[in-house]
Every structure is written in C-alpha cells, then in structure tokens.
C-alpha cells in the first residue's frame, strides 16, 4: 500500500528512523561464501556468530515508483584481515542509488563486472552508484559506520550476482590503512 506524504526523523546518534519500518539483522552466519578465508568465517560463526550489520528501514515500501530509505550500521571488525562488510548486491534492473555517510568511517566498493571503484565515506559524503554497478559497504574504522541509503522501490537486491562475479577487490586491514587485493588472488 502507498504511504501518505510524511516527515521521517533520522537520529544520527542512534542510527534510527522514526516512524520505523522493518529492521534486518545480519550475523556472520548470513555472510556465507563472502569472506576469502572460509575456515576463519566458520570459526567466527562458532565463536558467537556476531552481528556484523543491521539495516533499519522507513515505512516507504519497496515498490515500483516509491523511493524507500534505510540506515545501515556496520560494526567494526575483521575476519582473517578482511574488514567487515555488507553482502553486496546488484540491482536486477540496474537502477541507481545514493548513500549518505552519517557516522563513522566506511567505504563504498562498486563493481560493474570489469572495473572496481572505491568511494571513501565519512559523515556528509554522498556516494553515487550509477546503473549497473554492484555495491558493497565496508567499515574501515574502529567504531560503527552508519549511512543512509535512498533507492528506487523497484530496484531489488540480487545477492547471487556477487556470489558469482565477486566485487573485483577485497578490502583488508593493512599495517598503515586499507589494502585492496584482487579477487583473482583468492
Ligand atoms: O539499498 C542498499 O543498497 C542498502 O540499503 C543495502 O541493502 C544495505 O546496506 C545492506 O547491504 P546488503 O543488501 O548488500 O546486505
Ligand atoms: Ni542497492
């Protein structure tokens, strides 16, 4: 059902939307097949299966011509050196999307099947995903990283695309900062 014109409050400190819609919690066990080191991933699942990120949505439905929003909060951490991240997805119909950095320090990794792009995300940065670029978010800091996403309601989430094609590069915690390693090095 469509929603009426409305005001939606976002609380930058709490990373919440009011009135709130559905909330999604992704634990380590939900990220199967995404980390380079499968054994380390299994161990992390066995060691308490931590929450890696959560997504709170407004009440705007994911329906064609609507414009839903959500706030993702990724916890700081790494598994065998690979920084904690979202699953990543492609929009089946190749629609664009924007993210707005709210708190913490992250990155927006984009992959079009050939090229990889990286946008450093700090509070106030708008990251733009053009049509056809799969996207994944990574927490590169030591506190939670939160961002607002605004996307076409009919965009959808193709997670299988990332499992099949990867994201071009992996994002690791290096000695002096973030390091990138090609998927071809797996
Ligand atoms: O619409 C988006 O791209 C975001 O809201 C993501 O869905 C969110 O960050 C979670 O990532 P993923 O859907 O890849 O698990
Ligand atoms: Ni998206």
Provide the residues around ligand 2 (an ion) whose CB is within 5 A.
97
Distance (angstroms) between ligand 1 centre and the Cα of 154 equals 14
The pLDDT, as a whole number, for residue 15 is: 81
ipTM: 0.99
| 57 neighbors 68 (Cβ within 8 angstroms) | yes
Residue 62, token pair as written in the block: 């994911």
Contact 72, 53 (CB under 8 A): yes
d(CA 43, ligand 2 centre) in Å? 29
Segment 133-155 mean pLDDT: 98
Cβ atoms of 33 and 87 within 8 Å: the answer is: no
**pLDDT value for 156:** 97
pLDDT of residue 116: 98
Q: Measure the CA–CA gap between 85 and 68, rounded to whole angstroms.
A: 22
149 has a pLDDT exceeding 90: yes
Please report the domains of the chain, with CATH numbers, ordered by start residue: 9-185 (2.60.120.10)
- Which of 28, 29, 55 has most ligand 1 atoms within 8 Å of CB, for mutation? 55
Contact yes or no for 167/116 (Cβ under 8 A): yes
Task: Tell me which residue of 171, 182, 168, 161 sits closest to 94, measured CA to CA.
Answer: 161
């Amino acid at each position: 059902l469509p929603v009426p014109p409305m005001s939606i409050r976002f609380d930058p400190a709490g990373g919440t939307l009011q009135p709130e819609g559905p909330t999604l919690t992704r634990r380590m066990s939900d990220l199967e097949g995404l980390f380079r080191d499968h054994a380390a991933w299994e161990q992390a699942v066995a060691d308490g299966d931590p929450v890696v990120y959560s997504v709170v949505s407004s009440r705007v439905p994911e329906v064609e011509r609507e414009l839903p929003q959500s706030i993702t909060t990724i916890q700081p951490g790494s598994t065998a050196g690979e920084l904690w991240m979202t699953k990543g997805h492609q929009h089946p119909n190749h629609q664009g999307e924007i993210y707005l950095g709210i708190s913490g320090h992250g990155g927006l990794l984009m992959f079009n099947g050939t090229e990889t792009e990286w946008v450093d995300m700090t509070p106030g940065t708008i990251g733009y995903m053009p049509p056809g670029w799969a996207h994944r978010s990574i927490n590169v800091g030591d506190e939670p990283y939160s961002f607002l996403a605004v996307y076409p309601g009919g965009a959808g989430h193709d997670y299988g695309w990332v499992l099949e094609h990867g994201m071009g590069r992996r994002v690791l915690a290096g000695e002096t900062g973030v390091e990138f390693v090609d998927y071809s090095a797996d």
